[in-house]
Every structure is written in structure tokens, then in C-alpha cells.
Amino acid sequence: MEINSATRVFAALSQETRLGVLRLLIAAGPNGLPAKEIADRLGLPASTMSFHLAALERAGLTQSTRQSRQVLHAVRIMAVRSLAAFLANMTSECCFGRPELCGDIASLLPPNPEESAPMLPAFNVMFLCTRNSARSILAEAILTKIGGGRFRAYSAGSRPAPEPMPEVIARLSALGHDVSRLHSKSWDEFCRPSAPRMDFVIALCDVLEGQACPDFAGTALTAEWPLPDPAGFAGSAAERSLLLNELYAGLRRRIEIFTSLPFESLDRLALKARLDEIGGGTAAMLARGG
């Protein structure tokens, strides 16, 4: 980083709120945060937050991208690293030419990685079923694992069970999924003002059996991928194991197709149609190469 660039960065950071914003965005990682969430966390009006976010972006410390009706902001980690390296390199000129006396900070920094790819929006995806104990738990775990950082997976139920089905947790664990945070919860938790805003809500209830799925009216996009409920399946242990295997495989295939959709090039109606196709089975999607 050149001195002129460092001067602009220092000027942008010479304000307490902007330092707070930068700390939040560093913690949030490459997916960033919506401007409204940043403002809410720091207790500032939207107009004031827009002023500070614009200053940070002009200084090259952050970047923004539009996702649906909101703008996401993320830190440019290379800019932060360059600033740290600039400060660290100054230690080579202190302590009478003996940088080891002040820790030789520059030597502790690893080589700079290549500049990261342009910021891509991350999508919040909610999976719903009645008890949030099997189907939606499976879907949440699968998307968390294969989403590649572009998707944040959630699950909930209209009448949540006390806990997920033990055989579901055991199966996910055996397949290498992190099950430490999986738990049954009510969809009411996601109707609060502080809850994350969902971009997609996918109901997994077997509507042909008349099961009630909660209604997320007003959510950006919704779809139904009806699947049988293993909690209501009365078969042998071998048959139950087969059902879970088939549920997992079917959900994983649908989610793989979902995550590979060209979100940037599809409008709302086209995206809704693709979601409905996935829910109706994978044959149509495969025939189109989607």
C-alpha cells in the first residue's frame, strides 16, 4: 500500500462508527451483511449508516452488491491486509534498525493471497415441515454442507417436536454432517423483527396427506417439495432405514440442482418456475440441463 492510499484509508477510519462497521463486516465474512442489519446492530438511523458505508467503500475497504430488495456490504479483506502490512513494514525503521525489539510484526504476516473474486450475494433459505424433526432437518444439514458459503440454511416447523428424530441425527452424523447445531424449533422464531429475512422458503410437507405447513406470506420466493414424513412411517427397521436413505438422496439431488441455478440471470418468474420444477421431480430439470 502506498502512502497516499494509506492516508485515504486512515481518513475513512478516523471515526468511531466506521471502525465499528468494519469490525462487524470482518466478523461477517465474505457474504457480508445488509445495511439495515448493520444500522440496527449499531443503533443508527439508515441515512447515517448509508453515509458511513459510502465512505468506507470509497476508501476501498468494503464492497457492496444488490440482492433482491436489499444491499449487502462486505469487507475487502485484501485492503485490510494491505493496511496491516503497511503498518507492519514501518517497524523495520524503528528501534535503531532493530525491528526484533518491537516484535518484527512484518515477519508474522503470511504472504498475500490472490485478490478474491467479486462479491456474490448469499441467500437465506428456510426449509419447513410440520415437526421440524426429519425432512427439514435433513435439508438444512445438506444445504449447509454443499452451499459453498452462498447459502445460509434454516429449518423450522409449525408444530415442532421436542427434538429431531435420533435416527435422522445418526444418519447425518454418519454421512459427515455437522449436527451440533441442529434442533427442532418453531417457525414463529423467524417472524420476529430481529430474525433474518428469508429469500427462499421451501415447504417439505406431504400436502397430499393434508399436513399443515406454515405460511410465510410476503417472502421473496416460496416453493413446495412434498416428501413423506418418516415420523408417520410404521415399517420395519430395515424399511425405515431405506426410507431415510431415499429421503436423503432425493433432498440432496434437489438441493444440488437448486444451488446450481443461474440466479444472476433468472428473473423472479423464471426462478419460481425452476423451483417448482425441482419440487415436481428432477427429470424436467435434467432434461433442460439445469
Q: What is the domain partition of the chain in residue ranges?
A: 3-108, 123-288
C-alpha cell, 287: 432434461
Taking the C-alpha atoms of residue 169 and residue 82, their distance in angstroms, rounded to an integer, is 44
C-alpha cell, 1: 500500500
Taking the C-alpha atoms of residue 133 and residue 219, their distance in angstroms, rounded to an integer, is 23
Q: Which residues contact 263 (CB under 8 A, 6 or more apart)?
A: 121, 123, 271
Whether the Cβ atoms of residue 221 and residue 268 lie closer than 8 Å to each other: yes
User: What is the amino acid identity at position 223?
Assistant: A
Query: For the domain with range 123-288, which CATH number is right: 3.40.1280.10, 3.20.20.70, 3.40.50.2300, 1.10.443.10?
Result: 3.40.50.2300
pTM of the predicted protein model? 0.61
Query: For the domain with range 3-108, which CATH number is right: 3.30.565.10, 1.10.10.10, 3.40.50.150, 1.10.357.10?
Result: 1.10.10.10
User: What is the amino acid identity at position 242?
Assistant: L
pLDDT in tens, the chain (290 residues): 567 777 778 888 888 888 899 888 888 877 788 888 898 888 888 888 888 888 888 888 888 877 656 778 888 877 777 777 766 666 555 555 555 555 544 454 455 544 455 555 678 899 998 899 999 999 999 999 998 778 889 999 988 999 999 999 999 999 999 999 999 999 888 888 777 888 899 998 765 345 455 555 455 678 889 888 888 777 788 888 898 999 999 999 999 999 999 887 888 888 889 999 998 754 343 334 34
Residues paired with residue 155 on neighbouring β-strands, in sequence order: 127
Taking the C-alpha atoms of residue 114 and residue 225, their distance in angstroms, rounded to an integer, is 40
Query: C-alpha angle with apex 231: 142 to 141, nearest 5 degrees?
Result: 10
